[in-house]
Amino acid sequence: MGDHFKTDVDQLARFLKNLEGCVRELKEARTALGHIRADQIGTAELDEACDNFQEKWKYGAEQTKEMIDEISEGVKENKENYEELENSLEKALKKIANENTSGGK
């Protein structure tokens, strides 16, 4: 059964870094768009459409950030748990090996 289930904690760390990058890029995009005011663009209809887009973008980006933060926290916890499990298993196997080579003394 163990042959079919493998976890690469380094891959989890890379995934976590990618998620953090997504949040940073979303924030940068919102900041860049935040400097553009609707009244700088043109017609009243276009200004209103831009204002509506800014509000929806802000809401959507905030929601996406919250979801990414939750996923990141779960991945981080899983990574830490796998590392702890690997360390505990390694210690237990070394202890067993030492006991077997020392005759149980």
Task: Give the N- to C-terminal CA distance of the chain in Å, as an integer.
Answer: 33
pLDDT band at 104 (very low <50, low <70, confident <90, very high): low
Q: How many helices and strands, by DSSP H and E, does the chain display? A: 2, 0
Per-residue pLDDT for 1 more than 50?
no
What is the C-alpha separation between 45 and 22, in angstroms, rounded? 32
pLDDT, position 40: 63
Supply the mean pLDDT for the chain.
82
Can you give 13-46 as a three-state secondary structure string? HHHHHHHHHHHHHHHHHHHHHHCCCHHHCCCHHH
What is the C-alpha separation between 29 and 18, in angstroms, rounded? 16
pLDDT band at 81 (very low <50, low <70, confident <90, very high): very high
Tokens of 36: 């553009």
- The Cβ-side half-sphere exposure at 49, using a 13 Å CA radius, reads 6
Q: What percent of the chain has pLDDT over 70?
A: 83
Q: What are phi and psi of 5, to 5 degrees?
A: -125, 115
- The pLDDT tens digits for 5-55 are 677 888 888 888 888 888 888 888 777 766 666 566 667 787 777 778 778
Which tops the pLDDT comparison, 25 or 105? 25
